[in-house]
Amino acid sequence: MLADKKILLAVCGSIAAYKAAFFVRLLKKEAAEVKVIMTENAKDFITPLTLATLSKNPVYSGYFEKNSGEWHNHVELGLWADLMIVAPLSANTLGKMANGICDNLLLAVYQSAKCSVLVAPAMDLDMYKHPGIQSNLEKLTSYGNEIIEAKDGELASGLFGQGRMAEPEELLEIVKKRVTTGSRLKGKKVLITSGPTYEAIDPVRFIGNYSSGKMGSAIAKIFKQFGASVTVISGPAHHFASEVENIHVASAREMLNETKKRYNNADIVIFSAAVSDYRPSKPSDQKIKKEDGVNSLTIELIKNPDIAAEMGTKKENQIHIGFALETQNEESNAKQKLKNKNFDLIVLNSLNDQGAGFQGTTNKVTFFDKNNKEVKFELKNKTDVAKDIVSYVIENFL
């Protein structure tokens, strides 16, 4: 399956480095061409000879061979690879990758690489949780790199928790998926609506909702990682994908206008915004003042345009994906919306499921597609939900 694919494996100093030997064997069994780079610290855990023998290629570590003086061209190595995977990724190398430091060959190759870069961190559970580590991982995500999350289990320290590097079999599956299907999104234009909308009551007040923009920005990041060109039209959210084009709007009507302008160019449109269904019919020009003796105030609301439904009637050779956030009759409501709004896929999340919905970092979703296919997922973080959505699009619609 990986015949003629060029995989560059970068190994850092971590006890999980022993898994690199198994991983190289699995890659070679799939007929991949494998080259290995090691940091000096990695050599304390596994020998270059082991990885050179298994990969059938010399292992690279420094900028040049001490004996012959032969120079290892980092730019060439970076350009040679169809995919680079750093496994295991240590906290030290992560910190350097995240901050543009370049004091060894691995880092120089990383900074020169034009291909997809995947990283599989391995560290102790408290290190993994540390805000410095997490913010560095977020930085790598923002550079378009894919993080293969560390797993829960027994760690070298004897402690139990999240920090184990993913097993070689899992790494292989991810690499295969990336190399064989990832290119299908190259050059595709993805348009995403995200976040809440704010509907003015007066110049200082609005009707809005709790949407944070986490789901929409996670989807944007993953599409970008897969080589798509991404534009997000976002309401006043807290989360944005800095690596993509962001168009900022406030109200549903502004969101509709901006969507209309870009819609014809898009191959894939994701409607993940939580759009207000109604807006005040006559927003006041001036701040509404509290009046003595006036104990109630009625604001008349009128219906907002339904962006997904309007675009659904214009759809041509495009993939439309919508969301349904429900509190009751979840499945039938979602299926109705799939039909009414002409979606190819609808992602249902129910507020009855703990950890699902607005603001949190996790979501629990079920997919319903236009071909009556249904896939239920476990509770997972929003980045992983975004990966499921992107994989589904690649495997079913492209």
Per DSSP, helices labelled H in 10-147 are: 18-29, 48-55, 74-80, 91-98, 105-112, 125-129, 131-142
Residue 56 near residue 33 (C-beta atoms within 8 A) = no
Which of the stretches 151-159, 273-281, 348-356, 381-389 binds ligand C5P when contact is defined by CB under 6 A? Answer: 273-281
Q: Return the residue of 61, 141, 234, 304 that touches ligand C5P, per CB under 6 A.
A: 304
C-beta of 145 vs 193, nearer to ligand C5P: 193
C-alpha span between 76 and 71 (Å, rounded): 11
C-beta of 121 vs 322, nearer to ligand C5P: 322
**Could you say which of 145, 209, 246, 304 is catalytic?**
209
Q: Return the residue of 323, 367, 368, 392 that touches ligand C5P, per CB under 6 A.
A: 323
Residue 268 near residue 189 (C-beta atoms within 8 A) = yes
Residues, the chain = 398
Asked whether position 307 contacts ligand C5P by CB under 6 A, the answer is yes
Binding mask 159-198 vs ligand C5P (x if CB under 6 A, - otherwise)? ----------------------------------x-----
Asked whether position 353 contacts ligand C5P by CB under 6 A, the answer is no
Asked whether position 308 contacts ligand C5P by CB under 6 A, the answer is yes
Residue 85 near residue 115 (C-beta atoms within 8 A) = no
Size of the site for ligand C5P (CB under 6 A): 16
Asked whether position 271 contacts ligand C5P by CB under 6 A, the answer is yes
C-alpha span between 175 and 84 (Å, rounded): 9
The nearest distance, CB 281 to ligand C5P, in angstroms, is: 16
List of residues 6+ apart from 177 with CB closer than 8 A: 391
Give the residue from 372, 375, 384 showing the smallest Cα distance to 348.
Answer: 375
Residue 262 near residue 268 (C-beta atoms within 8 A) = no
> Could you confirm whether 372 is annotated as catalytic?
no
Asked whether position 337 contacts ligand C5P by CB under 6 A, the answer is yes
The nearest distance, CB 73 to ligand C5P, in angstroms, is: 48
Give the residue from 233, 255, 229 showing the smallest Cα distance to 243.
Answer: 229
Catalytic residues: 209
Which residues in this chain contact ligand C5P in the complex, by CB under 6 A?
193, 252, 271-273, 275, 277, 304, 306-308, 322-324, 337, 341
